[in-house]
Amino acid sequence: MDIITYQDYLSAPDRDAALRAAVEGFRHGARFRAALDANAYFRGENPTVARKTILRAGKIETRDGQGRRRVRGQSRDVVGNRIPGGFLQRFVVQQCQYLLGNGCTLAQEGLKARLGPDFDRTLARMGERALLHGVCWGYWNADHLELIEMCRDPLSGFLALPDETDGSPRLGVQFWQLAPGRPLCVRLFEEDGVSVRRWLERGKRWEVLQPKRPYLLRRVAAPGGDLLEGANWPRLPVLPFYANPERRSELTPAIRAKIDAYDRILSDFADNLDRANDVYWVLNNFSGTVDDVAEMLETISRLKAVANFSDGTGAASTAEPRTIAVPHEARQAALTLLEKALYRDWMALDVSELTGGSLTNVAIRAATAGLDQKADRFEWEAFAFVRALLRLLGVETDAIRFSRRAIANDSETVADIAVMRADIDRRTALRLNPYIQPEEVEALVEA
């Protein structure tokens, strides 16, 4: 079964076994494996290039019955250069910080303070994980937002059991293991509370480590002493932050294939450079076998000399050392084309194109048009997540804004302000000035 729904869990004859099967099925599913690969690319690793080998010639030494040494040639696969790139981290961080780096702005006074002091930072971190995995989960823990990754490592992550009617999450399962062979633990998010359990392999059941408790606890005074009073949210307080309307990772097959091609070409080029550092020998009039060649080259490597004995025919054998010139023009052209294709497909901004003191704001806006369009789609999902969180808190509003990290020619902006000065007041002119911080405006107006 590809998807285990909340109704499947409720109707299961053994819910302990059903919960365990849901976790194991998710951990071995295609989306979880894809998320593990995305984590590797983000760390600067490349699972595809990590399997690359090269064919290398070698030798095998043996002894015959009389104790004489025999040397013969052999080829084998060996580990060559494996050079991963950092494209994915660069793209993800750029897109996320471009939209969420300045935080979220809420029009209603005092509303932002209810979300906790670390809300903007947590939201930005969630955005990164959403772009990598397709979704990141946010748990509203009474008075602050907690990030829960869909895939943290091969043994840890989060899955939600959806409702069959509308697909909304009805049961959340955060699972983790310290290492293979260690106990599997889960934090179970149900609509009436949260609990922590550990799987007992011997008994094939879950052991309760922390009994279910309500999501909201408050201490109330009572004649016999203070009591804890609990309440729950109107819906599951674990909300999804999606990367895009498709709810898929931004490491698409098209992006991944180009990253793999770039890293393979770069790794192969490094292998060729390594081989070019070696000297190869051209043997003239050499009548020996391949084993004789291997033994002679070993003698050259060890003694830096080889004796040339004539066989009386007058045709002496000679050995000429030569080196390899590595062709690089075609590889460099391929790398350049792949890099441009990666920036184009991701719709990222290549800052190397924004050079020169005379670059105008019009040119900058044209260069960032693709990034703006990509951020638009991402903003829809960020907006939906914040609105769903506010609805959970009983606040209905659409006044949610994100201030993008704009790139501009500050000198040109100041010049434009000077031209507009007759039509705007002093406060507006100071607020538009990129060299003046927002908190400094009022003090300068009153000066």
DSSP per-residue codes, 227-274: EEEEE--SS-SEEEEESSTT---SS-HHHHHHHHHHHHHHHHHHHHHH
Q: Which of 253, 275, 308 is the last residue before a domain boundary?
A: 253
Residues 127 and 239 in one domain: yes
- What range defines the domain where residue 242 resides? 6-39+86-253
Contact assessment for residue 286 and residue 95, using Cβ atoms and an 8 Å cutoff: no
Q: Is residue 417 part of a domain?
A: yes
Q: Please indicate whether residue 49 or residue 314 has the higher confidence score (pLDDT).
A: 49
Three-state DSSP class for 306?
coil
Asked whether residue 161 is assigned to any structural domain, the reply reads yes
Is residue 106 domain-shared with residue 231, that is, in the same domain? yes
Other CB atoms closer than 10 Å to residue 256's CB: what's the count? 19
- The residue out of 205, 225, 253 marking a domain boundary is 253
Span 63-83, pLDDT tens digits: 766 766 666 655 555 556 778
How many domains does the chain contain in total? 2
* Final residue of a structural domain among 209, 231, 253: 253
CA dihedral 66, 67, 70, 74 (to 10 degrees): 120
User: Does any domain span residue 235?
Assistant: yes
Evaluate whether residue 328 is within a structural domain: no
Residue 327 lies in a domain: no
Within 10 angstroms of residue 17's Cβ, the number of other Cβ atoms is 13
Of residues 281 and 366, the one with the higher pLDDT is 366
Of 17 and 273, the one with more pLDDT: 17
pTM above the 0.85 mark? no
Share of the chain above pLDDT 90, in %: 50
Look at residue 375 and tell me if it is in a domain: yes
Is 76 part of any domain?
no
285 is a domain residue:
no
Token pair, residue 122, equals 């947590």
**299-352 residue pLDDT tens:** 666 655 555 554 455 556 666 666 556 567 788 888 889 999 999 999 998 887
